A and B are shown apart, each in its own frame.
Chain A
């Protein structure tokens, strides 16, 4: 079955995107990412030594099928984000960018105002911008107009493993969006990933749940399977959920 996902100039077979933080070692990270089948991984600019071609994180991501998605984690406003993006493009030789602007270091909530501003500017500068945002349907449409390549609404607070607490809003976003929708943050179990895919998300991004698992490689495989299952179910068409049992003697039978 040809069910590939295209974002800007790239086409993906795997719909599981992953993060690279929180692993117990770079070797474990590499092994888990390979097991997950992921083709797009985010890398925090602040964690990478840009002057070192043998940076420990980067050398473990050096596989032909793995594309890097630098993220701006740590910036607090549009100005800092734009500057960080330019540095990332120079250093990592990609114009792809996961735009993360969280002025609040405690809950890491994305700033919608600054994110929209930065997206407008970065799109003009030729970046492939994937903004990380609240599950806000209007903001998603505004980002679409601003030139984003995809939107990345959160399922629940980042790192919380709480699943799709924003489900109702994600459904609206998915039904309205002309861009790929990647559910990011809060996906704590393969069942959450499957749920997002069943809703019609184009992809999911998972980090903590794999990295912090007692067995990251096995958990990566579990997520791979769940994402594939959820996608297949979505394509097959899920039967409608019935709130009540259907009466065996229909009420309108007398009309026949």
Chain B
């Protein structure tokens, strides 16, 4: 379990180590091919900022070698904004007095048909954590409902038990995103004072449960803005390294959500500038050539347009972060404010303009579900 592994590291000592990296450390990291955790520390350190252009050039070349000139497209579909957790940075937080909504079967299908009509093949189902409305059975039912429409199903829901993940995988779930938000225990407790999410260990051990359940892909990440992003990214890198060795049949992705405003929420405690975000993305690519790097519509148009060429491999587009946001209830409360509000068709044009191919489909039901040929033909 990573909860045991992480105890080998001390937050303050690691932080100190990152901030004491020098230009020489950065140059060593730039000029080698198999980069270590120490190299990653150097590349995210303040000492690496003057080397940003070199990092970007390398990041682009390495990404193209592995992923080609392609960008994968996906779309989030929020099923429910019910949530029993108190998270001080989130629009769905229990104490935030908003109108709550959970999509019914019929509403879900209306939303599904709309996003399908836009061309999406990869859907990300999202819920808050609520044992009454958005419980495991609801999520399982939702997966069964959307399965005939998409070739790739990802979910971003509350952490579940291993047998629940096994059931979801069996129904066709390919990817589970579970962000630790912050690896700093003290900060974690501060931002998650109440609800199931306040259990740091259970969340931290979620990728282990997923690995044991045989999931195809796990998405990791932190919420940039909660604690020192350099140290938190180092812990994410340690987590990934641990998982890659232990669950070697699983694929991994990393995301870079920056804290976004919502009504009544907190401001970022630690800001990460645009320049530093680019540094972080390039550092990740130089550290791990195979990991998928994903970018959401939290980022601005100019950032998204330019990050296409710098290491990102998948993007959401035309997103709504409120349940029913595409068709059935456009006014329901969103989780956070979107920065890039352009339609998916505009994003496709931008990707092509940058010399990349937008990829709608990179998975097939035949790999995820226990179908036989006859059943598949019916679908």
Q: Which A residues are within 8 Å of any B CB, using their own CB?
A: 21-26, 45-50, 74-76, 80, 83-84, 86-87, 90, 103-107, 159-161, 208, 211-212
Rounded to whole angstroms, the CA-CA distance of A235 and B356 in the bound complex is 40
Option from A22, A87, A160, A161 in Cβ contact (under 8 Å) with B70: A22
Rounded to whole angstroms, the CA-CA distance of A68 and B64 in the bound complex is 25
Q: Does the CB pair B66–A159 fall under 8 Å?
A: yes
- What residues on B are CB-neighbors of A26 within 8 Å? 357
Rounded to whole angstroms, the CA-CA distance of A25 and B363 in the bound complex is 18
Q: Does the CB pair A23–B68 fall under 8 Å?
A: yes
Identify the 7 closest CB pairs spanning chains A and B, nearest first. A22-B68, A24-B69, A105-B251, A46-B364, A212-B64, A106-B290, A103-B249
Rounded to whole angstroms, the CA-CA distance of A48 and B365 in the bound complex is 12
Instruction: Give chain B nearest CB distance to A139 CB in angstroms.
Output: 21
Instruction: Give chain A nearest CB distance to B75 CB in angstroms.
Output: 17
Instruction: Give chain A nearest CB distance to B63 CB in angstroms.
Output: 10
Known: A23-B70, A48-B361, A105-B251. 18 other contacts (CB 8 A): A21-B68, A23-B68, A23-B357, A24-B357, A26-B357, A45-B364, A46-B363, A46-B364, A47-B359, A47-B361, A76-B249, A80-B367, A83-B372, A84-B366, A87-B366, A87-B373, A106-B244, A106-B248
- What residues on A are CB-neighbors of B99 within 8 Å? none
The winner among B65, B67, B217 for most chain A CB atoms within 10 A is B65
Rounded to whole angstroms, the CA-CA distance of A74 and B152 in the bound complex is 12
Q: Does the CB pair B68–A211 fall under 8 Å?
A: yes
Q: Does the CB pair A24–B355 fall under 8 Å?
A: yes
Q: Is B352 an interface residue (CB 8 A)?
A: yes
Q: Which residue from chain A places its CB closest to the CB of B244 in the assembled complex?
A: A106
30 A-B residue pairs with CB within 8 Å: A22-B68, A22-B70, A23-B357, A24-B68, A24-B69, A24-B356, A24-B357, A26-B357, A45-B364, A45-B366, A48-B361, A49-B121, A74-B364, A75-B367, A80-B366, A83-B373, A87-B366, A87-B373, A87-B376, A103-B248, A104-B248, A104-B249, A105-B249, A106-B244, A106-B290, A159-B65, A159-B66, A211-B68, A212-B68, A212-B69
Q: A46-B361, A46-B362 are in contact. Are A23 and B69 (CB under 8 A)?
A: yes
Q: Is B332 an interface residue (CB 8 A)?
A: no
Option from B244, B248, B357, B361 in Cβ contact (under 8 Å) with A25: B357
Instruction: Give chain A nearest CB distance to B79 CB in angstroms.
Output: 25
B349-379 interface with A by 8 A CB criterion: 352, 355-357, 359, 361-364, 366-367, 371-373, 376-377
- What residues on B are CB-neighbors of A48 within 8 Å? 361
Q: Which residue from chain B places its CB closest to the CB of A88 in the assembled complex?
A: B366
- What residues on A are CB-neighbors of B367 within 8 Å? 46, 74-75, 80, 84
Instruction: Give chain A nearest CB distance to B203 CB in angstroms.
Output: 24
Rounded to whole angstroms, the CA-CA distance of A105 and B290 in the bound complex is 9
Rounded to whole angstroms, the CA-CA distance of A161 and B364 in the bound complex is 28
Rounded to whole angstroms, the CA-CA distance of A29 and B69 in the bound complex is 11
- What residues on A are CB-neighbors of B249 within 8 Å? 76, 103-105
- What residues on B are CB-neighbors of A74 within 8 Å? 363-364, 367
Q: Which residue from chain B places its CB closest to the CB of A106 in the assembled complex?
A: B290
Q: Does the CB pair B69–A22 fall under 8 Å?
A: yes
- What residues on A are CB-neighbors of B352 within 8 Å? 25
- What residues on A are CB-neighbors of B244 within 8 Å? 106
- What residues on A are CB-neighbors of B66 within 8 Å? 159
Q: Is B162 an interface residue (CB 8 A)?
A: no
Q: Is B271 an interface residue (CB 8 A)?
A: no
B65-116 interface with A by 8 A CB criterion: 65-70
Rounded to whole angstroms, the CA-CA distance of A21 and B362 in the bound complex is 11
- What residues on B are CB-neighbors of A106 within 8 Å? 244, 248, 251, 290
Q: Is B198 an interface residue (CB 8 A)?
A: no
Q: Which residue from chain B places its CB closest to the CB of A25 in the assembled complex?
A: B357
Q: Which residue from chain B places its CB closest to the CB of A51 in the assembled complex?
A: B379
Instruction: Give chain A nearest CB distance to B238 CB in angstroms.
Output: 17
Instruction: Give chain A nearest CB distance to B297 CB in angstroms.
Output: 23
Q: Is B250 an interface residue (CB 8 A)?
A: yes
Q: A24-B355, A26-B357, A87-B376 are in contact. Are A211 and B69 (CB under 8 A)?
A: yes
Instruction: Give chain A nearest CB distance to B171 CB in angstroms.
Output: 16
Q: Does the CB pair B361–A208 fall under 8 Å?
A: no
Rounded to whole angstroms, the CA-CA distance of A161 and B65 in the bound complex is 8
Instruction: Give chain B nearest CB distance to A102 CB in angstroms.
Output: 9
Instruction: Give chain B nearest CB distance to A231 CB in angstroms.
Output: 27
Instruction: Give chain B nearest CB distance to A159 CB in angstroms.
Output: 6
Instruction: Give chain B nearest CB distance to A207 CB in angstroms.
Output: 9
- What residues on B are CB-neighbors of A161 within 8 Å? 65
Interface string of B7-27 (1 = CB under 8 A from A): 000000000000000000000
- What residues on A are CB-neighbors of B65 within 8 Å? 159-161, 208, 212
- What residues on B are CB-neighbors of A90 within 8 Å? 373, 377
- What residues on A are CB-neighbors of B357 within 8 Å? 23-26
Q: Does the CB pair A50–B364 fall under 8 Å?
A: yes
Rounded to whole angstroms, the CA-CA distance of A75 and B68 in the bound complex is 20
- What residues on B are CB-neighbors of A104 within 8 Å? 248-249
- What residues on A are CB-neighbors of B362 within 8 Å? 46-47
- What residues on A are CB-neighbors of B355 within 8 Å? 24
The winner among B64, B68, B251 for most chain A CB atoms within 10 A is B68
Rounded to whole angstroms, the CA-CA distance of A118 and B127 in the bound complex is 40
Rounded to whole angstroms, the CA-CA distance of A50 and B357 in the bound complex is 19
- What residues on A are CB-neighbors of B364 within 8 Å? 45-46, 50, 74, 84, 87
- What residues on B are CB-neighbors of A83 within 8 Å? 366, 371-373
Instruction: Give chain A nearest CB distance to B118 CB in angstroms.
Output: 15
